[in-house]
């Protein structure tokens, strides 16, 4: 399993470097970015049960803000704090991924024309309107020329598919774990559409003292009242006053009666203390 995951990581890295024309000496940054992407996105591996690898290990949903903001080797602006006035402080650079354990939140590695990766939290997206300007094209040409001079020519699709790189195709789909039939299909959890409306109803099984037949009886909410077509009557609302649902209440002697949600909700809330515990009811004091 580990060898297969490493193979898929290498394939993903090669395809990204070829499609984005990344110099081969920057493979380590691309591999880290590719690893972050695969760790924080879901796949069809059966053992993960629909969770991301990150959540399967750490137990909580990962934050993908750092990965969703930019794409690898994308052009970005970053702020140069030592630029002297009146020269502009924004500089053009290539985005190289998240800077782990460096600086504050949303900190990235960027590659300026110096060819030395720096960590910056001031990276910003470049508006598409700037791409067609002559000034931007000059800055882009200077940046790419400096990067190529230091790191060499970018990876091409031809190099990606030669024999030395094991013949991987950049357009080949990522291999996925096949789906297997469950051992006991009848024990599978039902999908959300198979649940009845009462499954998530907060009032079902609640017990409340209600007036019935000139007496106060303890009843249990058993079901929603339905119309002739089998549809539940009424609409729920966070405010019990505007809740129009009708429920069936079953009493200890076996008979049932229908009550509106706001009627028994008023009785229910009047019979509990501020902590939600029910008041004790007794007939008389014996001694």
Could you read off the pLDDT of 30-71 as tens digits, one per residue? Answer: 999 888 888 888 777 777 777 888 788 888 888 888 788 888
Query: What is the structure's pLDDT at 280?
Result: 55
Q: What is the mean pLDDT of residues 91-101?
A: 86
Q: Residue 81: phi, psi to the nearest 5? A: -70, -20
Cα distance between residue 205 and residue 109, in whole Å: 56
pLDDT higher than 80, residue 220:
yes
Query: What is the structure's pLDDT at 190?
Result: 58
At residue 281 the predicted structure's pLDDT band, cuts being 50, 70 and 90, is: low
Among 176, 178, 70, 164, which Cα is nearest to 125's? 70
- In angstroms, what is the C-alpha Rg of the chain? 32
Cα distance between residue 169 and residue 160, in whole Å: 7
pLDDT higher than 50, residue 167:
no
Cα distance between residue 116 and residue 136, in whole Å: 21
Over the stretch 123-160, which tens digit does the pLDDT of each residue have? 888 888 888 888 888 888 999 899 988 888 887 655 55
Q: Are 203 and 247 in contact (CB under 8 A)?
A: yes
Q: Are 174 and 7 in contact (CB under 8 A)?
A: no
Give alpha helix (H) positions in the chain.
2-20, 27-39, 53-58, 65-69, 134-151, 157-160, 261-270
At residue 163 the predicted structure's pLDDT band, cuts being 50, 70 and 90, is: very low
What does the block give as tokens for 147? 């990067």
Q: Residue 2: phi, psi to the nearest 5? A: -65, -40
Domain boundaries, the chain: 2-165, 193-270
Residue with tokens 């395809």: 15
State the angle between helix axes of 2-20 and 27-39 in degrees (0 to 180), rounded to the nearest 10: 120
Cα distance between residue 52 and residue 50, in whole Å: 7
Query: What is the structure's pLDDT at 164?
Result: 46
pLDDT higher than 70, residue 20:
yes
Task: State the Cα torsion 156-162-164-166 to the nearest 10°.
Answer: 110
Query: What is the structure's pLDDT at 171?
Result: 55
Cα distance between residue 137 and residue 91, in whole Å: 13
Cα distance between residue 41 and residue 212, in whole Å: 56
């Amino acid at each position: 399993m580990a060898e297969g995951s490493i193979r898929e990581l290498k394939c993903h890295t090669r395809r990204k470097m070829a499609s984005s024309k990344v110099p081969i000496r920057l493979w380590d940054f691309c591999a880290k970015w590719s690893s972050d992407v695969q760790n924080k996105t879901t796949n069809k591996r059966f053992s993960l049960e629909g969770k991301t690898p990150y959540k399967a290990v750490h137990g909580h949903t990962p934050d993908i803000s750092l990965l969703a903001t930019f794409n690898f080797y994308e052009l970005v602006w970053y702020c140069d704090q030592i630029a002297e006035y009146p020269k502009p402080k924004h500089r053009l650079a290539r985005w190289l991924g998240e800077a782990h354990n460096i600086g504050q939140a949303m900190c990235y590695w960027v590659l300026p024309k110096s060819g030395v990766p720096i960590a910056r939290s001031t990276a910003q997206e470049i508006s598409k309107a700037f791409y067609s300007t002559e000034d931007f094209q000059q800055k882009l040409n200077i940046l790419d020329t400096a990067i190529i001079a230091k790191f060499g020519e970018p990876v091409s699709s031809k190099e990606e598919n030669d024999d030395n790189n094991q013949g991987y195709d950049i357009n080949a789909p990522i291999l996925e774990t096949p789906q297997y039939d469950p051992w006991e299909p009848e024990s599978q959890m039902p999908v959300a559409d198979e649940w009845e409306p009462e499954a998530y109803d907060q009032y079902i099984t609640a017990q409340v003292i209600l007036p019935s037949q000139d007496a106060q009886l303890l009843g249990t909410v058993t079901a929603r009242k339905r119309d002739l077509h089998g549809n539940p009557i009424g609409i729920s609302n966070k405010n019990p006053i505007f809740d129009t649902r009708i429920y069936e209440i079953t009493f200890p002697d076996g008979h049932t009666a229908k009550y509106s949600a706001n009627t028994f909700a008023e009785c229910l809330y009047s019979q509990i203390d501020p902590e939600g515990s029910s008041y004790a009811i007794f007939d008389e004091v014996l001694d």
